[in-house]
Amino acid sequence: MKFMQRSGSSSKKQKAKLATNQQQQQTSSQITKSDYNASVDFIADHPGCWRLLENEAVDKDLVSNDQQSNEIKHPTIIYKSSVFSINNHSYTRLSFQNYNKKVESYMSKYNVYNNQQNGEDGELKQSDEEDNEQITDEKLATYATLMKTIRKKFNKKSSSNIITFDNSSGGKISKRKRRRHKKQQQVNATLLESLPSFSSHNSNNEEETESGVFLNLQYDQEQSIEEGKLTSTGLISEIILQSPVPDTVDDEGASNNTSYPSVNKLVYSTQPRMDDEQSIITTTTSSNEHNISKHQNDTRDIEESFTEDDYEHILKSDVKHIFILSDNGKPVFTRYGDEEKLLTLMGVMQSLISFAEIYNHNQLNYIKAGRSRVVFLHNKPLIFILVTRLNENYSCLLQQLNYCYYQIISTLTLSRIKHKFEAQPNFDLRRWLSNAEKKLLHNIIDMYETDHGMMMSCAKCLIMPLNIRSQIGLVMAQTIRGQKDMIFAIILAHGHLVSIARLKQYHLHPSDLHLLINLVNSSDAFKDVEAWVPVCLPRFDSGGCLHTHISYLDDACDVCLILMTVNAENFHILSDFKQTITDKLKKNGLIGQIKIALVRDRGLSDEIGCNQLRYFAYKSRGLSQYTCSKLLAPYTTKEQQIRLFDLIRYIYGRLHDPNHQLKIIYYAAEYESLLGWLAPGFELHVVFSPMVTLDTVTSCIDRILAYIKREEGQLFIMKCEYF
Amino acid sequence: MSRAQPKPANGAGPNRTCQFKMVLLGESAVGKSSLVLRFVKGQFHEYQESTIGAAFLTQTVCVDDTTVKLELWDTAGQERYHSLAPMYYRGAQAAIVVYDITNGDTFSRAKVWVKELQRQAAPNIVIALAGNKADLAQKRQIEIQDAQTYAEENGLIFMETSAKTAMNVNDIFMAIAKKLPKTPEQTRGPIRSEPITVTSGQTNGANGGTCCAGSK
C-alpha cells in the first residue's frame, strides 16, 4: 500500500476534492494502522508529505540486523550520490513533473490503458512483460491522448493541487498492471553503481523479482505547474516507488486487497545540479519531453513561467536558505522567496523530521547531500531548516538556526506560541509575524554572517576611555538605584555596547543582547519617540516579557538607551529615568564623548604595527566580550567581507568541533592565511596575508596579545555597575 | 513640512495646565504613526516603519486660556499586539480610532475598537474617528456619509484626515482637546492614579522638558 499526497496552497474551491482524497487516505491509513506500526500512520495523517512504508518482506534481514545496532547507535543518515537513506531505509518523494517524465517513457514502452473520461484518477501498475510485446497502434493512440491530458492538467495554473498515490482507492480508478524487468534492472544497476551503501536493498529487490512501480495517481483538476517545478528544483526531486507485487494478484484484486504488502522503499534522489554526480534519473529522462512541456508552459502563461523561473533560480542559487515551519508542516518563514510556493518543500522537510523522530525516537540533525548541507532544528512547536552549499561547520549553522528560534521567541514568547499551538495545532504563525517581525528575522540572519559576536557568543564594546565608560555606568546605576522592578539598563551606540548596569543577581546573556541590538537596529520607528515594547529574552526567561523602554539620547539618534523592567505599569518611571540620565550625561559632556569614540573608529591593526596582519578578532572568555580590528583592503567590498567571514566561521567551527577539538589551527587559504587559537582565557582569530612566515605570525600574535592586555580597559567593560 | 504647528505652551499666556492621556487605535498600516508624527513634529514619511509595541509622544496645545498637554500613545496595529491594547487605553481620557478610507476592512475593525473602548475604557472617554488617507479619495471604499452616520450614532467626533497633506490633522486633535473637561483636579487624577500615585509629581516635572523639545 502506498500513496503520496501533496497539497498546494489551500483554496476553498479545492476542498471538496480534498475531502474525497482524504477519504481515500483514511481508508489507506486505517489499513496501514492495522498492518503496520505507528510510524506509518503518522505519515498518512500529514498532508503535504510523502509517504513511505517499510517492506518487511524485502528488508527483513537487513532490518533485523540493523535494528539491534540502531537502538543503541545514532541513526545513520546517508545522503550519497543523490539517494537518501536513514537507518538503511531509503526515501524519496514523488515529484509530478519528474514522475511524469519518468512514467511517460514506461507508459509508451509498456502500453498503458487509462480511463480518460474520468480524468482524475489513474493508476499505473506493472503489467506483465508479455503484455508489452502486444502493443497495438490503438493503444498507443490512447496513451498519447492520455499524456496530453495529464500534461495539460498538470501545467495548468492553480491555487491548489493534490497528488495522491494510493493503490487502495477502489474500483473507480482505472488500473494498469505492468512489470518492467528490463527497465527496473537498468535503474537498479545504475543505483548499484552509484550507491554502494544502497546496494543491498536493490539486490534484494531484484532477487524478489517482484519489484516494480505500483502507483495510483489522483491528481486534481487544477494541477499547479509550480509544484512540479519546485520540487524538481529543490533538494528533493524524484521518487521511485518500488513495490513487490505478488504474482497472483490480478488488476482489481491488487488494489482492493487490504493485506497487500506495502511500498517497501522510496529512493530519494536530488536534482542533478544539486549533486556532484549525475543523478540516476537524468539518465532515464527524455530531455525532449521536458522541453516540450516547458514550451507549453511558456506559451500558456508567460507570466507564470517567469515567476517560476525566478523562483527556480532562487532555490538553485548558492545562497543560504532558511525555512521555518510549524510542527504540522505549515510554512512560517523563508529567507528567500514566498512561503506559499514552498508548501511542498516544507512538507518534505517536516516529514523527514517526523520520520526520524518516530523511528526509534531519534532526532534528525544534519544531512549532507553532495555539496549541500541541510541542518534541522526541531524546537517544538517549530521546525527550523537551513540549506547551504558553503563549507560551514554544523555547529555554526545550528547556531544560526538557534538565533532564528530566539528571535521568534523574543517577539512572541515561547509560552504564548506553545499555548496557541496546543489550542490550535494548525495555527498559521504568519498572522503574528508582520513585516516588522519578518524584518527582524531577516536581519538577525544577516547579522550572524557579519558579526563574530553572535558566533562567539559575546558582545562587542565601543572602544572608549575607561574613566568615561565608568562615569556613564555610574550615572545609570545611580539614577536607577532603589527602583526594585528594574532589571537592565543598557546604552548602545551603533550596535556597540557602551555601558550596562543591572540588578546584581541577573545576567544578560550575549545572545539576548544581540536580540536587543537587532531590535534597535532593525527599525527607525524608535527614533524621535519613546517606545514601550514587550521583549522576551529567551535566555533570561523564555516564558515572559520584560517591558522595555527604548529611546535615543541625542537628536542624531546615535546613542540608544534601553531600560528593562518587569512591571508593565512602570512606563512613566522609566520615562523619568531616561530624562534624568539624558540630563546628567549631557551635563557632564558624556554623550559628546560617546560620539567622539564613534567618530574615532579605531582601526586597531595599525596600532599593532605588523605589515602582514590584515584582521584580528579577540574574545575575552572571562568577560564574554570581544574586539576586532577594522576591516581594511582587500576586505572593503561586501563580497570579500563575506568570503573572509565564511573562512573565519570555518576556522571557528574547526576549533569548536565537539568530536575533534583543536587548540590552534593555522589555515593557509588561497588569498590569506588564518590562525585560530583557543586558549583558556581567550579566543583569537587572526588573518594574515597569504605568504606570511610562521615567525612573523608568532611575533605578531605576541604583539596583539600584549596590545590587548595594555588596552584592555578601553576595549572592554571591565566592571559592570549594579543598581 | 513648513506647516504651522499648534502653539506650544509658553509659560506666559495661559494660566491653567491640564494633562490628558490619549491613545491611537486601529488596524495596522492605516496611518496612526503618520498622524501622530504630523501632529507632533510636522513630518511625514512616505515609508513609515511599522510601530513595534507602542510609541509615546507628547504635544502641548492651547485651548482658550488653558494649556493642554497631550500624552499620545501610538499603538502598534498588528494582531499580536491586540492583547496589549488595554494597557494603553486604560486610564486614557481620549482615543482616536483610525481607519483607512481606501480599505473597507479597516473600517469594520475601527468599529470593533470603538465598541471595545465604550465597553472597557473609562466611561467619559472622548472618542474620535479618523478616516485617514483622504488624499487617496479616488481609491475610496468607505463613503464619508457612512462614517459620518456611524459617528453620529455613537457620539464620536468624526473627520477625514490626511497625514500626507496634513488635512484636518491638527483639527481633529484640537477638536478632542476642546471637548475634554478642563478642570485640573479632574484631569490630573486619572492619568497617574492607576499605575503609580507615588511618583506623579516627579513625572509631571520631568515630562515638561520632553514636550518643549518636541514642539519647537
With 0-12 / 13-18 / 19 or more C-beta atoms within 10 angstroms meaning exposed / middle / buried, residue A640 is: middle
Of the partner residues A434, A529, A533, the one whose CB lies closest to the CB of residue B78: A434
Rounded to the nearest angstrom, the minimum Cα separation between A211 and chain B is 53
In this structure, the strands spanning A126-127 and A178-178 are parallel
Residue of chain A with shortest Cα separation from B207: A576
Quote the pLDDT of residue B16. Answer: 80
Domains A308-450 and A457-599 share a fold: yes
Residue B141 to residue B40: CA distance in whole angstroms: 28
Contact yes or no for A531 and B54 at CB 8 A: yes
Quote the pLDDT of residue A497. Answer: 92
Quote the pLDDT of residue A408. Answer: 92
**Residues whose CB is less than 8 angstroms from the CB of residue A65 and which lie 6 or more positions away in sequence, other chains included:** none
Quote the pLDDT of residue A577. Answer: 93
Contact yes or no for A579 and B206 at CB 8 A: yes
pTM for this one? Answer: 0.66
This model of the complex carries an ipTM of 0.80
Domain A308-450 classification at class level: alpha beta
Provide the sign of the torsion angle of the four alpha carbons A266, A268, A272, A277, taken in this order: negative
Residue of chain B with shortest Cα separation from A429: B80
Contact yes or no for A412 and B50 at CB 8 A: no
Which residue ranges make up each domain of chain A? 308-450, 457-599, 604-722
Report the CATH architecture of A457-599.
Answer: 2-Layer Sandwich (3.30)
Residue of chain A with shortest Cα separation from B191: A572
Q: Is A189 on the interface with B (CB under 8 A)?
A: no
By C-alpha distance, which of A666, A658, A664, A659 is closest to A682?
Answer: A664
Q: Is A573 on the interface with B (CB under 8 A)?
A: yes
Which of A417, A524, A529 should one mutate to test binding to chain B, selecting the residue with the greatest count of B CBs within 10 A?
A529
Rounded to the nearest angstrom, the minimum Cα separation between A75 and chain B is 40
Quote the pLDDT of residue B183. Answer: 64
Quote the pLDDT of residue B3. Answer: 42
Q: Is B194 on the interface with A (CB under 8 A)?
A: yes
Weakly modelled stretches of chain A, pLDDT under 70: 1-314, 360
Q: According to the 3-state scheme, what is the secondary structure of A107-160?
A: HHHHCCCCCCCCCCEEEECEECHHHHCCCCHHHHHHHHHHHHHHHHHHHCCCCC
End-to-end CA gap in chain A? 68
Contact yes or no for B196 and A435 at CB 8 A: no
Report the CATH architecture of B16-179.
Answer: 3-Layer(aba) Sandwich (3.40)
**Mean pLDDT within B167-172:** 92
Within 103-162 of B, beta carbons closer than 8 Å to A belong to: none
pLDDT digit string (tens) for B115-153? 999 998 888 899 999 999 999 989 999 999 999 999 999
Rounded to the nearest angstrom, the minimum Cα separation between A529 and chain B is 6
Quote the pLDDT of residue A98. Answer: 47
Residue of chain B with shortest Cα separation from A534: B53
Quote the pLDDT of residue A720. Answer: 85
Quote the pLDDT of residue B63. Answer: 86
pLDDT digit string (tens) for A711-723? 898 899 988 888 8
Contact yes or no for A431 and B206 at CB 8 A: no
Within 24-63 of B, beta carbons closer than 8 Å to A belong to: 28, 33, 37, 41, 48-57
Residues from chain A that touch B48, judged by Cβ atoms under 8 A, are 525
Assess whether pLDDT exceeds 80 at residue B65.
Answer: yes
Report the CATH architecture of A604-722.
Answer: 2-Layer Sandwich (3.30)
Quote the pLDDT of residue A258. Answer: 32
